[in-house]
Structures are given as C-alpha cells and as structure tokens.
Amino acid sequence: MKFKVIPSHIAVIMDGNGRWAEKQGKKRTEGHRAGATAIDRLLDVALEYKIPAISLYAFSTENWKRPITEVNAIFNLLIEFIDTRLDDIQKKGIRIQHSGNRSKLSKKVLEKIDGAAKATQKNKKIVANFCLNYGGQEEILSGFHRIQAARKESRVPLDKPISPKEFEKYLYTHPLPPVDLLIRTAGEQRVSNFLLWQIAYAEFFFTNTLWPDFGRESLEEALVFFESRKRKFGGLA
Ligand code: IPE
Ligand code: IPE
Ligand code: MG
C-alpha cells in the first residue's frame, strides 16, 4: 500500500498473548512465544514502510505481579529472541534500544539487551525500542531525579524551571521523537502506564486482534487510520 504520511514513532501495547493461548487450549507461555513471532512480522513491515521508530511494550513495572513462572518465561523468551534474531536484525539495519528501569532486571537480561544495543548502535534503518520493566510514571520520576542530580553537579539552582525539551533528554526513550501513533491490541482501551509523556499528542488505534495474530494487514489498517487523522496539536487546522 501507499501512504501519504508515515508516523515517525509508533508505540505498541502488545496485549492478548494469554487470551490467544487460552483460546487454543495452550499454556500462556505459548501465547508469549507466538507474540515474539508477531514482533518479527511487525519489524519487517515497519522496515518496508520506513517507520523510523517502534516502541514495543514487552514488560511493564506492574507485570511483576504475575506468577514468577510466567515472569521467568517472558524474560527467557526475550533472551531467546535476541539470541536467535540478532544476526538477522543486524543484517536488516535495525537498531535495538532498551527503555525501562534497569534495577530489577537480571544480569543476564541486561547483558543481552545491552549487547544487542551495542552491536546494532550504528544501524540506521529503524529503531526497535524494547520497553522492559518500563512504567511511564517511574520514567518521569526517575528522569526528574536524574535531571536534578545533573543540575546539582553543575551547580544549577534546583528551583530553576525545567523546560520540556530539557527534561526529555532524561526520558528512557531519548532521543526518540514523540509518539505519533499508539496501537493497542486485544480490545482493551487503556494506556496501562505506557509512554505517558511521549503520547501527549499521539493518535490512538485500538484493535480486537490479539497480539499473536497481528500482522501486515493489522499494521496497514492502523496506518490507514493514522493517515486519516487531522492533527492539530492544540492549534487550528
Ligand atoms: C501481553 O499479553 C504480554 C505481556 C503483558 C507481557 P498478556 O499476557 O497481557 O495477555 P492477556 O491480556 O492475558 O490476554
Ligand atoms: C500492558 O499489558 C503491558 C504489556 C503489554 C507489556 P497488561 O496486560 O499488563 O495490561 P493490563 O493489566 O491489562 O492493563
Ligand atoms: Mg494483558
């Protein structure tokens, strides 16, 4: 398909892995595994349409509430994802980035995600931003703490107003642009603590498709929707 406008940054709340598995009488882990192959498809179509940045909500700061067996399965799948895809990702020119709080992530997970980010840092085609132990509220608070620490260090008065531009440098997603299009699968219409700062003027696309079933047609449907929106950013169109 041809599109007149392409979003600079798409954020995806990949929801419905558990329901997909349940529908087929499979274990929830099988849903997450199928979800990983949907990421492969999404990245291929994103490359084709030259979508510069994709943020993937893979594990939230609230997902620790799940049974430890499921949490471990998700992280093991992530490690497997990087191990089995890194060469391909490299060949395709995809740059890997991580957004999220590092403190609760295991050494192994950090090693994998940092290794993938380092190995792909020169890639220019698209950025795949994996949001792991990510929460929008935590990101804003941690950004605030870090900006204040930096100001203290350089003796800038701590009560000097902070501009949004300056603050954005302290978000995990830096230097990615604001989100133009937010996609959430599996019929839920909520944000679940994803990229709260970055979605200020995003268009929202909700679909009943479960994440493991998301493919080319689903992304094209979202791009058709995005193209049809009249964006005003608070001004007059
Ligand atoms: C999304 O699928 C993946 C993660 C949260 C890691 P879910 O696991 O939330 O699937 P449902 O919502 O139970 O169907
Ligand atoms: C959001 O999905 C988190 C991810 C996709 C990683 P959840 O399934 O955790 O969200 P809620 O609990 O339904 O809001
Ligand atoms: Mg869910």
Taking the centre of ligand 3 as the mean of its atom positions, its distance from the CA of residue 217, in whole angstroms, is 22
Give pLDDT, residue 156.
97
Taking the centre of ligand 3 as the mean of its atom positions, its distance from the CA of residue 17, in whole angstroms, is 7
- What average pLDDT does the segment 76-81 reach? 98
What is the average pLDDT score of the chain? 98
Domains of the chain and CATH, by start = 9-135+175-228 (3.40.1180.10)
- Give the ligand whose atoms come closest to the C-alpha of residue 19: 1
Residue 40 banded pLDDT, cuts 50, 70, 90: very high
pLDDT in tens, 188-227: 999 999 999 999 999 999 999 999 999 999 999 999 999 9
In short, whether 192's Cβ falls inside 6 Å of ligand 2 is: yes
Q: Of 85, 83, 59, nearest to 73 (Cα)?
A: 59
- Give the ligand whose atoms come closest to the C-alpha of residue 22: 1
Q: pTM of the predicted model, to two decimals?
A: 0.98
19: enclosing H helix or E strand: helix 17-23
pLDDT in tens, 111-136: 999 999 999 999 999 999 999 999 99
Angle at 126 between CA 215 and CA 18, to 5 degrees: 35
- What average pLDDT does the segment 151-174 reach? 98
Is residue 237 scored above 90 in pLDDT?
A: no
Whose CA is closest to atom 3 on ligand 2? 60
Closest atom, ligand 1, to C-alpha of 20: 14
pLDDT in tens, 141-159: 999 999 999 999 999 999 9
Residue 64 amino acid letter: W
- What average pLDDT does the segment 81-102 reach? 98
- What average pLDDT does the segment 150-179 reach? 98
- What average pLDDT does the segment 27-53 reach? 98
If DSSP codes are grouped into helix, strand and coil, which group holds residue 92?
helix
Taking the centre of ligand 2 as the mean of its atom positions, its distance from the CA of residue 118, in whole angstroms, is 28
Residue 4 burial by Cβ neighbours in a 10 Å radius (0-12, 13-18, 19+): exposed
d(CA 6, CA 8): 6
